[in-house]
Amino acid sequence: MDRNGFTLRAHGLDRPLFLAALILITGPQQCLSAQSSAEPQASNTLLEMTSSEFAKTVPELKHLKPAKSQERLPLILQRVGAGVAEFFDNFSNTTCEEQILFTVERPKAEEPVRYEGKFNYLALTKPGADKTALQEYRTDSKGVPVNVKGTVVTAGFVTLPGYFHPNYQKGSRFRFLGEEQVKGRSMLVVAFAQQPGVARQASSIAFDDKGAFVFVQGVAWIDPAKYRILRLRTDVERPELSVGLRWETTEAEYSEVTFKEGGKTMWLPREVTVSGQLKDYTFRNQHRYSGYRFFLVQTEDKQKGS
């Protein structure tokens, strides 16, 4: 069970299967503990790759115009970090409609397990000084947290840009890759790789009654006008075989959402695809979000008085 209390069991497979791919803000001791039981960290992260290696590993970068130097990187990180900090500092509880297509391919099975559903997706602030520690989960139409059978469950996408928060940038190495045209828009492209032993932010994986923290690397596509992250891809830096995780990739697209109440705007997930392999199971989850609105949390006293 992760610190958000959101690990969901999947049924209908050959044996019990767990996964909660949540981006967590964890204490240094938790991250150091995770590193001490791990195999040596692979040195060839995205930051060491050549342009041709990038095109193979991240096909979206095949039209990248490489940066000639890293002179722009400090300013990019400063401005993106300021935007991410502002997002969390001013975050309001939200809910939206989530449409998901879960797919799990089983070993030696002719047909994969598929499940499509619609849920309410909530992102709520948590008590405490750490404003980046949001709680994200899904419920049914009655507000009851759901346990989706026969699936591999993934969540935690609102907090995903937290790697660029000023408080957590020291936990990663960054590289300005250059510029790329995406759907007719010019974007700045920055790669990052977490540093185990330094990073204070980790992802939580639960599988077969076992749990582990993993570190990730990734690529961010950034709007050069507002310095907002429009697209973010993350990959685990190496397999975590203690829980059977061979690989996992998250691809998230973000857009500006304007709320009717007061005209407040926030940058929130629009579409997310998570794919990976747990032991012999290959999974792919497609998430779509729409209809964002504020979620008002009523205290027990207010509910009694109403």
- How confident is the model over 163-180, as pLDDT tens digits? 999 999 999 999 999 999
CA 192, 196, 200 angle in degrees (round to 5)?
85
Report pLDDT for 40: 42
CA-closest candidate to residue 172, choices 137, 196, 140, 153: 196
Dist CA 147 CA 13 (whole Å) = 15
Query: Any idea which residue has 């610190």 for tokens?
Result: 3
Report pLDDT for 228: 97
Residue type, 289: Y
CB atoms within 10 A of CB 256: 13
Report pLDDT for 55: 81
For the four alpha carbons of 160, 164, 165 and 171, in that order, the dihedral sign comes to: positive
Pair 34, 56: CB distance under 8 Å: no
Report pLDDT for 20: 33
Pair 210, 243: CB distance under 8 Å: yes
**DSSP state letters, 136-204:** EEEE-TTSPBP--TTS-EE---TTGGGGGSTTTGGGEEEEEEEEEEETTEEEEEEEEEE-TTT-SEEEE
The reported pTM is 0.84
Report pLDDT for 57: 87
Counting as low any pLDDT under 50, the low residues of the chain are: 1-42, 299-306
Pair 124, 103: CB distance under 8 Å: no
Report pLDDT for 34: 36
Beta partners for residue 121, in sequence order:
96, 138
Beta strands per DSSP E along 67-131: 94-105, 113-124
Reduced to 3 states, what is the DSSP secondary structure of residue 74?
helix
Report pLDDT for 300: 44
- How confident is the model over 93-105, as pLDDT tens digits? 999 999 999 998 8
Dist CA 28 CA 26 (whole Å) = 7
Beta partners for residue 221, in sequence order:
189, 231
Residue type, 117: G
Report pLDDT for 262: 79
Q: 170-189 as b/e, with b when 16 or more CB fall inside 10 Å?
A: ebbbbbbbbbbeeeeeebbb
Residue type, 233: R
Q: What's the chain's Rg over C-alpha atoms? A: 19
Phi and psi, residue 12, nearest 5°: 85, 10
